[in-house]
Structure 1
Amino acid sequence: MSSRAVTSLTNPTVKAVRALHLRKERDETGLFVAEGLKAVIEGIETGHAPAILMHGAEGHPLLKTAIAATLAAKGAVIEVTEAILAKVSRRDNPQAVVGVFRQVFRSLEALEPQAARCWVALHRVRDPGNLGTIVRTADAAGCGGVILVGECCDPYSVEAVRATMGSIFAVPLTKASEAQFAAWRNGWPGSVVGTLLSADVDHRRADYARPTLILMGNEQQGLPPDMAALCDVNVKIPMRGRADSLNLSVATGIMIYAATA
């Protein structure tokens, strides 16, 4: 495809990209939006060229790299106005570059547990900001991937992708039902570790046999009994102040670094 300019908010491609804010459209098309030149370059560098690249006035040298990579992959490059970028990103101060990418999910069977010291499984996580932050932390710590168990929020929502700061392209994602995860977990070669407020074992003193699979519950309920029963050990993160719990992404970060220390 070639590069072209668009100035109308009613352009079909502009309307299609705007529609990707809806989960129904993302599910049907298998596409998602990543905002900003940094995120787009992260995608390209990890082998994910944009299907569509929208940009404002050229200026940054890396924008030329992004344009060339998109065209080489037969994607569409569209120069647009700031008004269009604002509508596409739903921001008053939009990024100057927006990329549309293809979603990627790996099957449980395709995962290689021994490829990393630590993996993360999230049961029914609800908040896209938490999910995106966990993906970013998993990337920083060198985790093998993030497994979404049960009905979770969409990791490819704009809010989740923003929170990953580009790590959405680096961390393998997997979706599984509770039954699929339970059956697959039986073949896990290391430790499966969960967190419970009622647990007796301090997270710093647990035996993390590698590879370690950290299983975290959702923001409201934590791990339900059937999920906690899948763990080799359940641990607690001590609360020393008045707060009786931690934000899910913070707790998961603590567990990730305890398991990889």
Structure 2
Amino acid sequence: MPREITAYSNPLIKRVRALREKRHRREEGLFLAEGLRILTEARESGRLPEYLFFARDSAGHPLVRALIADVETAGGEAIETVPDILSKLSGKDNPQAVVGVFAEFATSLETLDRHSAAIWLVAERLRDPGNLGTILRTGDAVGAGGLILVGECVDPFSVEAVRASMGALFTVPIVQAGWAEFLPWLRAGPGQLVGLSLDTDQDYRAATYHAPTFLLTGNEAQGMPAEYAAECDLLVKIPMLGKADSLNAAVATAVMAYEVLAQAKPSPR
């Protein structure tokens, strides 16, 4: 049976609130996810929270009941609380009905099967959690094999990134690696490295892509370093017809991913 916590001073509440900071997430190996949709996506992908906090008013919802039952069956703990505490945990004035505390999960390059998907997404020094979440959603939408984060990227387990992913964090494998680790791994097998660049005349629609295609998106402000661009098998550019010189990193990744998908698997007539 779920226990009830209504006191802000409860040690577990303080511990979970601290997970909003990267340092505490690293120390605990835990992260926060909020919202019934995201937690249901996690449950359907086989991941359950170690702690599930839910508001009393939401306890009757069938998806919340299913979450409570599965969490308790798996040895986790379901905790009934009040909206004010949920707000403190999530950092939002209008909290979601459920908040979960999950164990961080890591995937290494060596565990990836590059033959399992035609498209792979690679982001270099990505700084914005909203962009990271959107790229994960794009990866889920196009059936990408995973997202490889190269260099010092934003924490994929931050509350903001998890929120922006809308559950794709649990469905798209994520690997964090340095360039010196990623490039040798890539070159050890088949894989076309395609970079999004302003320093090329190659229109992305006129290029030919070969599976598995690894789409490399550079840092939002600086783009990718010249030495990284030099290692790409192909550099492509999305033409800009207005005054802006480039698209948002996540938008550009989505545009590119769907072009690669169109070549890999033509749309049904």
Q: TM-score range by the shorter chain?
A: over 0.9
Asked if residue 79 in structure 1 is aligned to residue 66 in structure 2, the reply is no
Residues 140-160 of structure 1: per-residue CA shift (max 9 Å, x gap): 110000000011000110110
Structure 2 equivalent of residue 195 of structure 1: 196
Q: Which amino acid aligns with 1:23?
A: K
Q: CA deviation at 1:59?
A: 2.2
Q: How many residues align?
A: 260
Q: CA deviation at 1:78?
A: 0.5
Residues 159-185 of structure 1: per-residue CA shift (max 9 Å, x gap): 101111111100000010111012112
Q: Quick one: distance in 1 between partners of 2:21 and 2:51?
A: 17
Q: Quick one: distance in 1 between partners of 2:39 and 2:128?
A: 23
Asked if residue 67 in structure 1 is aligned to residue 65 in structure 2, the reply is no
Q: Which amino acid aligns with 1:232?
A: D
Q: CA deviation at 1:29?
A: 1.5
Q: Which runs of 5+ in 2 are unaligned?
A: 263-269
More deviation in 3-12 or 184-193?
184-193
Asked if residue 95 in structure 1 is aligned to residue 96 in structure 2, the reply is yes
Q: Quick one: distance in 1 between partners of 2:15 and 2:98?
A: 16
Q: CA deviation at 1:109?
A: 0.8
Structure 2 equivalent of residue 4 of structure 1: 3
SS of the counterpart of 1:244?
Answer: coil
Question: How is 1:209-224 mapped onto 2 (pairs within 5 angstroms)?
Answer: 209-224=210-225
Q: Quick one: distance in 2 between partners of 1:247 and 1:23?
A: 25
Structure 1 equivalent of residue 266 of structure 2: none
Structure 1 equivalent of residue 38 of structure 2: 39
Structure 1 equivalent of residue 257 of structure 2: 256
Q: Which amino acid aligns with 2:163?
A: R
Q: Which runs of 5+ in 1 are unaligned?
A: none
SS of the counterpart of 1:153?
Answer: coil
Question: How is 1:129-208 mapped onto 2 (pairs within 5 angstroms)?
Answer: 129-208=130-209
**How has the CA–CA distance of structure 1 residues 242 and 218 changed in structure 2, closer, same or farther, with 3 Å as cutoff?**
same
Q: Quick one: distance in 2 between partners of 1:82 and 1:43?
A: 22
Q: Quick one: distance in 2 between partners of 1:56 and 1:115?
A: 40
Structure 2 equivalent of residue 13 of structure 1: 12
Residues 216-244 of structure 1: per-residue CA shift (max 9 Å, x gap): 10101111111112210000000111111
Q: Quick one: distance in 1 between partners of 2:30 and 2:206?
A: 43
Q: CA RMSD in A?
A: 0.9
SS of the counterpart of 1:54?
Answer: strand
Q: Quick one: distance in 2 between partners of 1:249 and 1:76?
A: 36
Q: CA deviation at 1:103?
A: 1.5
Q: Which amino acid aligns with 2:95?
A: P
Asked if residue 50 in structure 1 is aligned to residue 53 in structure 2, the reply is no
Question: How is 1:98-109 mapped onto 2 (pairs within 5 angstroms)?
Answer: 98-109=99-110
Q: Quick one: distance in 2 between partners of 1:180 and 1:22?
A: 28
SS of the counterpart of 2:20?
Answer: coil
Q: CA deviation at 1:188?
A: 3.8
Structure 2 equivalent of residue 22 of structure 1: 21
Q: Which amino acid aligns with 1:86?
A: S
Q: Quick one: distance in 2 between partners of 1:230 and 1:28?
A: 36
